[in-house]
Chain A
Amino acid sequence: DQQVKQNSPSLSVQEGRISILNCDYTNSMFDYFLWYKKYPAEGPTFLISISSIKDKNEDGRFTVFLNKSAKHLSLHIVPSQPGDSAVYFCAGENTGNQFYFGTGTSLTVIP
């Protein structure tokens, strides 16, 4: 039962341009959504989160948008930098403190 889906396994973007990573979910009981970044041989690193009662959260170059009616969220990175190249996971947390992760999108930022 894949409650969180990332349908794009990979994405390539030129340095300086916008990266848009997408995520869909099926569980309307998620309280929070989170984005994590993962480099090889390291654990995921928290990037940004959004409460289910909001539709946008911004932190520097990173902005997460939540569209509850479409059960869709996206992460925007502007401007993209080569150091942003990593695997990005989105996750939802439900009221039972259970976390569900997507399968990840591998972002490559081309210098």
Chain B
Amino acid sequence: ETGVTQSPTHLIKTRGQQVTLRCSSQSGHNTVSWYQQALGQGPQFIFQYYREEENGRGNFPPRFSGLQFPNYSSELNVNALELDDSALYLCASSQDREETQYFGPGTRLLVL
């Protein structure tokens, strides 16, 4: 059974740029959730995708968008990057929106 993987592991961007982060869900999982974890904080829910449709969204602006593909992998896109977007971005997968999620190791994004 393959766990949740994320790429890249680290990324440096400048303010105003756009970034795409990728997540491969655990084998057999059709639900992916994305989180932003700032330093010293808990993960903040961005949104969830279930069977390629957005299935819930946290308090993040529209410049945070996502996609889920037929193989249930997912992308998080952030446009017009701001300094405060610097954080660890986690994705988590589950089966049929179950509450038990399995997290990937995260992508650490630094915006300069």
Stretch at the interface among A10-18, A62-70, A71-79, A95-103: A95-103
> Which residue from chain A places its CB closest to the CB of B104 in the assembled complex?
A43
Identify which of B50, B56, B58 gathers the most chain A CB atoms within 10 Å of its CB. Answer: B56
Q: Contact between B56 and A46 (Cβ–Cβ < 8 Å)?
A: no
Q: Contact between B4 and A103 (Cβ–Cβ < 8 Å)?
A: no
Q: Contact between B99 and A34 (Cβ–Cβ < 8 Å)?
A: yes
CB distance from A69 to the nearest CB of B (A): 22
Q: Contact between A98 and B105 (Cβ–Cβ < 8 Å)?
A: no
> Which residue from chain A places its CB closest to the CB of B55 in the assembled complex?
A97
Q: Contact between B105 and A41 (Cβ–Cβ < 8 Å)?
A: yes
Q: Contact between B45 and A102 (Cβ–Cβ < 8 Å)?
A: no
Out of A4, A45, A100, which one reaches B103, CB within 8 Å? A45
User: What size tier do the contact residues of chain B reach?
Assistant: 20 to 34
B44 within 8 A of A: yes
> Which residue from chain A places its CB closest to the CB of B43 in the assembled complex?
A101
User: What size tier do the contact residues of chain A reach?
Assistant: 20 to 34
Q: Contact between B45 and A100 (Cβ–Cβ < 8 Å)?
A: yes
**Interface of chain B residues 55 through 97 with chain A (CB within 8 A):** 55-59, 90, 92, 97
Q: Contact between A103 and B90 (Cβ–Cβ < 8 Å)?
A: no
> Which residue from chain B places its CB closest to the CB of A31 in the assembled complex?
B99
Q: Contact between A49 and B92 (Cβ–Cβ < 8 Å)?
A: no
CB distance from B87 to the nearest CB of A (A): 13
Residues on B with C-beta less than 8 A from A97 are: 48, 50, 55-56, 97
Contact of A32 with B99 at beta-carbon distance under 8 Å, contacts A43-B90, A43-B106 already known: yes
Q: Give the B-binding residues of A (Cβ under 8 A).
A: 1, 4, 6, 31-32, 34, 36, 41-46, 49, 89, 91, 93, 96-104
